[in-house]
Structure 1
Amino acid sequence: MTQNAPPESDDDHGRGSGIRFTLEVWHPDCWTLEVTEATDASLIAHTVYNENGHVVKGHFTAYGETEASIDDLVAATRASALTDSVSVMERRHGGDRRGPVRGKPTTELFVEYDSRNTISDALLAGGFYQEAPVRIQGGREYWPLFFETDDRELLADRLDALRDEYDAEITVRRVHSDNRSAINVSHRTDSLSQRQREIFDLACEQGYYSWPREVTTRELADEADISKTTLLEHLRKAESKLLDPTD
């Protein structure tokens, strides 16, 4: 989860622009997803340092409503088969008003792990640039990203390739216009088929796009009386259409 600044946008020179958006990501064999799903605490991923080959050391902020929840997360991280070492660097009992988590107890961690079990390198290779620290909450990663072109079809293809390569669940949570104002995709459904709109509306109603997510894909598929694969296909097609604010 290395921070990579986005390239200078062509929009600065009047020749076009890229796309800014937030992705919600789940994929197998990721320790951050495992420990945040198993405990009541969350993580913010900052900088990653290359230690030796595929072994990296990441700087994380663990936070939660209680110090006990953070202790549980640290213990789960140490116990994970996907981590090599864990160093607890600093504990702030009352939170830091100037930091990334206001008013909550936090702990700074350095964790060694195998970079091949993350999706960060694949995102960079696919033309996605990280714009801010990644939040990991409830077994999901939230990536604020910049895509290097405004080609929506190419973006959808790249996301599908990531889903296939990593057996990942990837959802577009929010798209930003060129001036970085947020576009609420739930208000732009005219381009969807009737079935896509039904599934998308159901997802919105059940809290699939809330923070944190209030329903799992399995629960949503059961509610719609369809398979999980079919549900995700409907949502992917809907999200692909909703990516383009000019529709």
Structure 2
Amino acid sequence: MNYLDLRLRFAPEVRHPIHQFIDASTAVDRDVLVHGNTLGEEDTFLFYVVGDREPYAAALAAADSVVDFEITGIDDRSFYTFLRQRRPDVDEETFGAFQRTGVIVIPPIQFLPDGVATLTVVGESAALQETLQSLPAAVDVTVERVGDYDWRQSLFDPGLTDRQREAVRAAVDVGYYAVPREGSVAAVADTLECSTSTAAEHLRKAEAAVMAAFCGLRQYG
């Protein structure tokens, strides 16, 4: 069972009004589709948003495709948005590409500047290939990562490279993170068969990515 991390870039002429708002405004730091239902005549979505509530609500109210929405505050800078919308043509084609036997979209879906959406799909190799081939021409797709799906990894994925993961695993195995510390960077380097400086760099970058992701700072990486 394979997974693909995908980056979809919607052409400017077909971008959703909220995508356009994210591009034009600094009011939104993060916009994430947590769950959605696209089986009916109207789509129903739940978003997690970090940003200024009033400009975001005004953009929703001005969007012709948005039928209704409700905003529930979490704190001063974050909130949930529950909305219903009429499905734009490009969404009809895009959703259709993913709604096939042998493919599952794993939430959440993150919306980024420049009309970009990032998501993970799991499924059979042939079905995944058919999905990529079926996406509309107005949506440019980049496969950012391919691998064997592991649900445990998806619970917290700070986006480490394969080499950084190897370094962290080696550090755990040699006791580098034990209290008190039992292993050294040199021991990690021996496991990785690289120099001490290279092992240290892998660990520093991995630790920075983990801490940033844990604190919610890696928003548009």
Unaligned runs of 5+ in 1: 1-17, 95-103, 188-209, 214-247
Corresponding residue number in structure 1 for 2:120: 144
For 2:101 and 2:56, the matched residues in 1 are separated by: 31
Contact map agreement 2:9 2:139 (CA 8 A) in 1: yes
In the TM superposition, what whole-angstrom CA distance separates every residue of 1:26-73 from its partner, at most 9, and x where no partner exists? Answer: 22243442232233313222122655x3x3232222222xxxx33222
Corresponding residue number in structure 1 for 2:193: none
Contact map agreement 2:44 2:82 (CA 8 A) in 1: no
TM-score by length of 2: 0.55
For 1:155 and 1:172, the matched residues in 2 are separated by: 11
**Distance apart, 1:25 and its partner CA:** 0.9
Structure 1 counterpart of 2:36, one-letter code? T
Corresponding residue number in structure 1 for 2:197: none
Corresponding residue number in structure 1 for 2:84: 111
**Distance apart, 1:149 and its partner CA:** 1.8
For 1:176 and 1:185, the matched residues in 2 are separated by: 11
Aligned CA RMSD, in angstroms, stands at 3.3
In the TM superposition, what whole-angstrom CA distance separates every residue of 1:85-117 from its partner, at most 9, and x where no partner exists? Answer: 2322311225xxxxxxxxx52232313221543
Please state if 1:131 is matched with 2:106.
Answer: yes
TM-score by length of 1: 0.50
For 1:127 and 1:35, the matched residues in 2 are separated by: 34
SS for the counterpart of 1:131 is strand
Please state if 1:172 is matched with 2:143.
Answer: yes
Corresponding residue number in structure 2 for 1:217: none
Unaligned runs of 5+ in 2: 154-158, 165-217
Count of paired positions: 153
For 2:105 and 2:146, the matched residues in 1 are separated by: 14
Residue from 9, 12, 22 that aligns with 1:36: 22
State the structure with more CA Rg: 2
For 1:71 and 1:155, the matched residues in 2 are separated by: 39
Structure 2 counterpart of 1:212, one-letter code? Y
Corresponding residue number in structure 1 for 2:45: 58
Contact map agreement 2:46 2:80 (CA 8 A) in 1: no
Instruction: Check 1:161–1:38 CA distance in 2 against 1; reply closer, same or farther (3 A cut).
Output: same
In the TM superposition, what whole-angstrom CA distance separates every residue of 1:123-156 from its partner, at most 9, and x where no partner exists? Answer: 123743112221112231111111x2235xx745
For 2:24 and 2:102, the matched residues in 1 are separated by: 32
